[in-house]
Each structure stands twice: as structure tokens, then as C-alpha cells.
Amino acid sequence: MRPAAESRLRSYLAGTHARIDLDRYTRNIQILKDVAGPDRAFMAVVKGNAYGHGAIVCGQAALAAGADVLAVARVREALLLRRAGIDGPILILGGPNPEFVDEAIEAGIALTAGSRTALAHIAEAGKRVSRRAIVHLKLDTGLHRFGVRPEHAVEVARVAQQNPWVDLEGIYAHFSSADEPDPVPTLAEMNAAEESITAIRQAGIDVRYFHLPNSAATISGLTGSSTLVRSGIATYGLQPSDAVQLPPGIEPVLSLHSRLTRVFEILPGEGVSYGLTYRATDREVVATVPIGYGDGLPRSLSNRGWFTVKGERAPIRGRVCMDQTIVGLPVDAVEGDEVVIIGHQANDMPADMIATLDNTIVYEVVARLSLRVPRIYYRNGEPAFWEDDILGESFLAT
């Protein structure tokens, strides 16, 4: 290993860092591909910095694992992947910033059109840069966020097909409630989308990809006649909701670690952290951990939740600060000992538990892990690559 890389690795491991297990990510994608079936293409969703896991490394790993297409939300996210040398298919989910459409088309990035106007704008941009725009037409089947109403689907698809600057590659819709226990809304939305694609095909318009399912619908088998599935959350080994059980073998990809920076004692009646919202009743050994809401740890975990030290739960004491958090120490530990903030061993706090405590969903917990946290990517249990978005540096093990 090059000395600079090794020295940085040692530094990162001595502080707050995220571990991303690329073998698990690869295996999760393979399992989900099996669940979707051999006749369906697989779109790995790596928007939001791959749900906090790191878009470039996950994008590369997803394609290597057999994903056919990557998806992001912003054109700039796709341009980042292109700049990193990823030349595979990428789709922008949702409406692109109109000012970035020319650049997207020049980079061969597929765009979503959610209206006739948006489609016309994309076609004009294609003409301007002399390159056909790859377009997926989005139907609004019930989520009511964005898209063409099913009753206009054939008409807009025909406009797309007839425009020489548009290559209509896909038609899709996004479920409103696939992660809810009640399947009725999903089935109604699926029906509307299926009727639209049938009518579009009957009108002689051929598209390569018809896609409805997200992770939840893929796992629940609500795939209809989709020729592609889109999966984000399950590829990272996280459950879309309590109502959806992950297929066997899928494991969480990310864990979050730090070190104790100060171990000390507080006396009865003494308080801890801003506002002194926690007060010791007895002499208590506590420790400071260099992680806070500036790293993405919710401040609502103040006096709730725990980290683990040597496999034991160390409860959060007082308020979570921007950069530091104090925990009660249940075991003998010294400065420099490891702390698990998000983990998957017996006593660890998993990401879904943080979501429950913060009254949110697991998506948000991982997506808001800030760029301040260096990411260490593991292969075969060993660090293979590490990335520091603050310094804009990355290191390869070999």
C-alpha cells in the first residue's frame, strides 16, 4: 500500500468514519436481481450520494454486480458519475433542472419527461446540441408528484416517438404506497400504468423499458409486466418499511464508527452537554464521542438511543451537539476505544432504530450522513478504497 494511502486510512480509522461493505452491496443486488427474475433489467438507484453510501463507488460496484442502469435525481449527480469514468446508462428520476438539459444530453444521460412541455424542451435541447435525447416518459398514476396523467399517455408518447430528437427509451410510474401494508392503492396504480402501456403499444409505439416497481414492490412481487425494476433502499440492505420483509441473505451495507476522545467522571448533580438536560444521580463514568448532527446524527437522539462500546450499550447523555456527543460508559474503556454508532451486532443501534427514535424513515437516516464523514469501502473484509469529501481526496488500497 502506498504510504500516503496507508497513513490516511490510519487517520480515518482513528476518528468518525463510515464502513461500506461492497461485498454485501454486490450480494444484495444479485439477490434482488434474482427476486426480479431473469427477464427484467435492474436499475440501481444511487441518488442522494447513494443514500449516503457514496455515489461513485456504489455506482461502479452496482454496474459490476450486474445492474443495467443507474438512477440519480439531479443532472449534476449524473455528471459526477460520468466525470468518474462511469459510461454506463444513467437515468435522471424526476424533472431535470432545465438549465442542465443540454449538458445531460451531450453526456448521453437519459432524462425523464413528465409533461408535454418538458418533452418539447428536451427535444429542443437535443436539436440544439445535435444529439438525440434519451427520454423516459413519466406517468402520474396516483402519487401526484410529477408526470403525465394516464389519459394523456398515448398522446404524449406519440409526440415523443415522432420527434427526431427524442429516443423514447422508457415509460414509467412510481407507486405511492408500495411500502404500506394495504396493497389496494398499489394495485390500482399498477392497473392504470398497465392500461397505459398496453394502449401505447397498441398505438404502435415500442419502448425498451416499462418500469413500475421500487424496492418494496419488487420484494412484494408487485411487478406487473415491468421490464425493469428500480431499487435503492433494499440494495443498501435496509427495509423499505416494517410492512416489507427483506429477502433472505440481504444485509445492511453501512455501519458508522468512531472513537472515545475523552473518558471522565461526573459527580451526582452535575449535568452534561448544552442546557445540562442530563444530570448524574450517582458518580458516573461518561465519554465524549466526536460525532454530532453536523455528521448527520439526529439531534432528536439527545437523551435517547445509544452507541455501543465493547458490545455494551452506552446511552446518549444530554444533547447531541454539532460535532460531539456524550455517552454513559457501561464498561471499562479508555480513550481511543472504538464506538459503534450504527451497527448490526447484537447490541448495536441499527439505522432503522435511529429512524424510529427520530420519528422518520431509514432513508433519511442514511441519506443525511454528511460528507464530513470519511467513507471506507471494504472488500473481503479489508479496506479497499477510502474517500474524503472534505479534502476531495480518495485512496486505493493497492
* Cα angle for residues 345, 347, 352 (degrees, 5° grid): 80
**379/23 Cα distance (integer angstroms):** 6
d(CA 297, CA 16): 12
Q: Compute the distance between CA of residue 38 and CA of residue 310 in angstroms, rounded to an integer.
A: 44
User: Is residue 137 a contact point for ligand PLP (CB under 6 A)?
Assistant: no
> ∠ CA(8), CA(47), CA(25), 5° rounding?
60
* Cβ distance to ligand PLP smaller for residue 65 or 234: 234
Give the CB-nearest residue to ligand PLP: 232
Cell of 207: 419502448
The rounded distance, in Å, linking the Cα atoms of 75 and 84 is 14
Q: Does 45 bind ligand PLP (CB under 6 A)?
A: yes
Q: In terms of CB distance, is 11 or 225 closer to ligand PLP?
A: 225
- Residues 89, 73, 355: CA angle, nearest 5 degrees: 125
CA 347 to chain centre: 24
Catalytic residue among 25, 47, 236, 293: 47
- Residue 233 in contact with ligand PLP, rule: CB under 6 A: yes
Residue in 95, 232, 298, 350 binding ligand PLP, rule: CB under 6 A: 232
Helices within 179-321 (DSSP H only): 184-202, 215-220
> Which lies closer to ligand PLP via its Cβ, residue 133 or residue 366?
366
Binding mask 74-93 for ligand PLP (x = CB under 6 A): -------------------x
The CB density around residue 296, as the number of other CB atoms within 10 Å, is: 22
- Taking the complex as a whole, how short is the minimal distance between the CB of residue 214 and ligand PLP, in angstroms? 4
Q: Is 141 in the site for ligand PLP (CB under 6 A)?
A: no
* CA 105 – CA 169 distance, rounded (Å): 14
Interface residue with ligand PLP among 240, 296, 318, 383 (CB under 6 A) is 240
C-alpha cell at 391: 479534502
Q: Tell whether residue 171 is a contact of ligand PLP (CB under 6 A).
A: no
Number of residues that bind ligand PLP (CB under 6 A): 13
Choose between 241 and 347: whose C-beta lies nearer to ligand PLP. Answer: 241
274 in catalytic set: yes
| Contacting ligand PLP within 203-222 (CB under 6 A) | 214-216
- Closer residue to ligand PLP (CB): 96 or 328: 96
- The residue written with cell numbers 454496474 in the block is 63
* 377 carries an active-site annotation: no
- Contacts to ligand PLP by CB under 6 A: 45, 47, 93, 174, 214-216, 230-234, 240
Residue numbers annotated as active site: 47, 274
